[in-house]
Structure 1
Amino acid sequence: AEMKDDQNDDSSTDQVVADQRQPTLRKLAAVVINQCSISITTREANITPEIASRAIASKPFQQWIQNMECKSSAAAMEVYSIEIQNIDFFGMKVGFIKMLVDCSVDGTRIPGICFLRGAGVAVLISLRILDGNDEDMYSILVEQPRLPVGKIIRELPAGMMDDNGNFSGVAAMELKEECGIEVKEENLIDLTELAYKEQQAHVINAKEGGDFLFNGLYPSPGGCDEFLRLMYYEHAVKRADLAELEGKLSGLREHGELIQLRVVKFNDIWKCCNDAKALCALQLLSELKRSGKIPIVCRPKTQEAEPVIPLNNGNFIPQLAFGTYKIAIEECETVIENAIKAGYRHFDCASIYGNEAAVGKALQKCGVSRDKLYICSKVWNDAQRKGRKAVRASLLRTLDDLMCEYLDLYLVHWPVPACHIDTYKELEQLHNEGFIRSIGLSNYSQEDYNELISAGISVQPVVNQIEVSPLMYRPETIRFFHKKSLAIGASKSLHRGGDSLDTDIIKGLAMKYGKTKAQIMLRWAFQKQLILLAKTSKFNRMVENRDILTFSLQDEDIALLDSITTADDIKSRAELELVRKVS
């Protein structure tokens, strides 16, 4: 009996110890998941029903429930109970929630530990030097101690989302707080949205108004719900300003952020940074450029020399181009020499102009190496009608005439009906053989472009050159091609020149800004992020036409210039282009 009593005492003691180790579950609330009521419990004395209700109402928890109800991915997951083990607050805001979920898939229990922290955002920065001849791109990384890994880590500027779901706004705020860089939200490119927007737009649950299959990138989905939106920001800075950022102490010290900025070469990020966010962003950027999904963003490379526009294949094109149309053969050498002196490096040619051999000789004598020049040409309609062999022969003849081994850009001059698709496919082959760095279009309408894409192409066009100026402004066409990630080349950016510029609006703005009428026209196109094609045989006007980087037109003046073109003007131009295609 004594032994039995001792055993009972031991059992009782063990039970007390067990009870101390494993407090009793208390029910806090219930939630509905897939039309089933699920109990929420806890063993923690400091988690009250009020605190639990705040956690349940938080963005991370509600997002988790939404994901569980997403029929595409969670239909087989059956939840029985949820035990909240810990809740961390950032001030009054719910920060982290740790919970143990009893859940099975097709009757088999699966690991139930969940760490909820919600969405985050990170920014990949690309900086180009404004002054000097440095062609390298640079980036800014933040270096800070990370206790969970016991190391100081270099990583992308990043932060957790707030409850309003504005990813770009949070990204801009993090850049300001961590790097001291002020950014407009519209200048940030959401790499994740561009990469996965087709999935994001896929409506899964029509009953609830639609939830999305894709939220962002999941760095550790085995234990944590966190998903990331990766942003890209491209800008130009002076070398001295970039140097000041290196080693700068930053971050919100009152929140324990001990951040030091590090300036690294963009192409070296993968070597000096083992942050998964950075490596994912680099890969997405590379693939989006390759597939032509990165939208056109105009970033001046220099204030004094050559502004450039990035193309959807990762190349850059000088924004100020010199047109060679109607330059007399006997004048070519002098005109090209003066254009080079004025600062031009981008030359726009075409086989139909009849002067490519003279232009080629002039460029050979200009004293600028081929790798510093950007040479564009176009295949004419007669070659298109004769077939792919004639298209190839036309390009090879252009290369001989221009004395080049390759062209930076080669355009289909006009979308000749029943011919332009075969022409483009031959240009793809020539591109693959290394004769063409980039393929472009000229005088394509939206319908022509859609016809080309529907035919199936393997190399994305990078530009569409069309007539654009304040006297022939076609905003719908420009917006269409910019959304397709094609740059717009503005042929006739000075319209017809001479008296055609004598409108009251253009003359009035020239007086207001103390500039020539041509400079007002060109600055308008520059601010529209267009590639400007201008031509003159006079050196002083070449200099004037490039001297448009030192002033800006006000928004209301841009609007005035926008208003010059009428609907009848656009209609007449469209009718003329229909005729030109078959000429």
Structure 2
Amino acid sequence: MTPWRLSVRHLQPTLRLLPSLAKMSLSTFTVPRNLDHDVSDPIPVSCAADLSRDDLLRFPAFQIWLTTLQRSLKRQQHPSHEFASDPYVLRKIDIQTADYFGGSRLGFLKFKADVSNGNGETLPGSVFLRGGSVGMLLILQPDDVPPSADEEKRAILTIQPRIPAGSLAFAEIPAGMLDDSGSFAGGAAKEIEEETGLIIPQDELIDMTSLALQSAAAPEDGETLQKAMYPSAGGSDEFIPLFLCQKRMVRKDIEDLQGKLTGLRQHGEKITLKVVPLKDLWKEGVRDGKTLAAWALYQGLKGEGKL
């Protein structure tokens, strides 16, 4: 039997990693449990990313996530709650990576939240934190037909690369991430202009998600989440309020939108517009969750006479 010998050649892959490993550092700090300046019972945070405590606390997506979770955990205090006898607690946060936009603005976080009860039972807590977005169902109708001519209605889809999906031509309704300053409706109007070139006043937008939630039967002690749909709640905090805009236009102007190249090229957006019959939207955008959700909300609200 040939004895195993450790040689420099065997160690070379590890040796090449040593400079990178030396640069990695793990910082630790605490954050307030309720973000209300209450310094009692803080949450321990370990951070392997280049991220400071102040940057984390200023990140709107983190503020919304922590506030919403703590509000939901507090509901366990009610005797009728199914977890009341052994409530779950957010015990610590382990931040793994942070992505920045433009090199300076915090964009995405990946972390593990340790949420467990007194018996040591844990809830799945791997989180991709990215914050809110907006989606818009934009319905156009030629102005040479009666408003009741539903067969003439068209919807706008954007065709663009979506690398996480492995696609260079992903079909979806116009959408975009919310910035830190504007309202949901303002963000929707901004994305419509950037992605289609159409300028839509905010007061012409209908928040379909809020409208549907007004009709939904919710318990008095129910959770208080964002007035939005959550496309991937098993792994991401992303929430998307869905807006509707119905606009009558000159027929040729609608036709001219077909195949139009749009998007902010300096931000890496390469968008081609596709105009489809409204009745076919669910088939044309079948792979996109927000498109199907917008279609369902439109059909449901219209069926109840709310649109």
**TM class by smaller structure:** 0.7 to 0.9
- Structure 1 or 2: more helix by fraction: 1
- 2:83 aligned partner: none
> Is this contact kept in 2: 1:202–1:212, CA < 8 A?
no
Cα deviation, residue 20, structure 1 = 4.8
Q: Distance in 2 between matches of 1:199 and 1:61?
A: 27
Going from structure 1 to structure 2, the CA distance change for 1:83 and 1:114 (only over 3 Å counts) comes to same
Going from structure 1 to structure 2, the CA distance change for 1:196 and 1:150 (only over 3 Å counts) comes to same
Q: Give CA deviations for 1:316-336 in whole Å, capped at 9, x if unaligned.
A: xxxxxxxxxxxxxxxxxxxxx
**1:234 equivalent in alignment to 2:246:** yes
Count of aligned positions: 271
> What amino acid sits opposite 2:154 in the alignment?
Y
- 2:89 aligned partner: 78
**Identity %, equivalent residues:** 35
- 1:177 aligned partner: 194
1:162-561 alignment, distance < 5 Å: 162-164=179-181, 166-197=183-214, 212-274=224-286, 275-294=288-307
> What amino acid sits opposite 1:115 in the alignment?
F
> Is this contact kept in 1: 2:97–2:109, CA < 8 A?
yes
Cα deviation, residue 248, structure 1 = 0.4
Q: Distance in 1 between matches of 2:182 and 2:221?
A: 20
Q: Distance in 1 between matches of 2:23 and 2:106?
A: 25
> Is this contact kept in 2: 1:142–1:178, CA < 8 A?
yes
Q: Give CA deviations for 1:55-103 in whole Å, capped at 9, x if unaligned.
A: 2211100001111121478644311111111222223432111112222
> Is this contact kept in 1: 2:93–2:111, CA < 8 A?
yes
Q: Distance in 2 between matches of 1:48 and 1:72?
A: 26
Unpaired runs of 5+ residues, structure 2, are 1-5, 7-13, 77-86
> Is this contact kept in 1: 2:263–2:270, CA < 8 A?
yes
> What amino acid sits opposite 1:161 in the alignment?
L
Superposition RMSD in Å: 3.0
> Is this contact kept in 2: 1:200–1:215, CA < 8 A?
no
TM-score by length of 2: 0.79
Going from structure 1 to structure 2, the CA distance change for 1:72 and 1:80 (only over 3 Å counts) comes to closer
Cα deviation, residue 138, structure 1 = 0.4
> What amino acid sits opposite 1:186 in the alignment?
D
> Is this contact kept in 2: 1:192–1:217, CA < 8 A?
yes
1:115-134 alignment, distance < 5 Å: 115-131=128-144
Q: Distance in 1 between matches of 2:145 and 2:227?
A: 42
Q: Give CA deviations for 1:534-567 in whole Å, capped at 9, x if unaligned.
A: xxxxxxxxxxxxxxxxxxxxxxxxxxxxxxxxxx
**1:87 equivalent in alignment to 2:103:** no
Cα deviation, residue 149, structure 1 = 1.2
Q: Identify which range, 161-170 or 255-264, moves more after superposition.
A: 161-170
> What amino acid sits opposite 1:112 in the alignment?
G
> Is this contact kept in 1: 2:72–2:224, CA < 8 A?
no
- Structure 1 or 2: more strand by fraction: 2
**1:28 equivalent in alignment to 2:39:** no
- 1:101 aligned partner: 113
> Is this contact kept in 2: 1:40–1:81, CA < 8 A?
yes
- 2:56 aligned partner: 55
Unpaired runs of 5+ residues, structure 1, are 1-5, 7-13, 206-210, 295-583
Of 149, 174, 177, 1:160 maps to: 177
- 1:139 aligned partner: 155
Of 40, 48, 71, 1:43 maps to: 48
Cα deviation, residue 28, structure 1 = 3.5
Going from structure 1 to structure 2, the CA distance change for 1:259 and 1:73 (only over 3 Å counts) comes to farther
Q: Distance in 1 between matches of 2:51 and 2:145?
A: 63
Cα deviation, residue 235, structure 1 = 0.7
> Is this contact kept in 2: 1:61–1:116, CA < 8 A?
yes
Q: Distance in 2 between matches of 1:268 and 1:280?
A: 14
Q: Distance in 2 between matches of 1:22 and 1:198?
A: 54
Going from structure 1 to structure 2, the CA distance change for 1:265 and 1:198 (only over 3 Å counts) comes to closer
Q: Distance in 2 between matches of 1:74 and 1:142?
A: 41
Going from structure 1 to structure 2, the CA distance change for 1:23 and 1:74 (only over 3 Å counts) comes to farther
> What amino acid sits opposite 1:61 in the alignment?
F
> Is this contact kept in 2: 1:200–1:214, CA < 8 A?
no
Cα deviation, residue 254, structure 1 = 0.2
Cα deviation, residue 31, structure 1 = 2.7
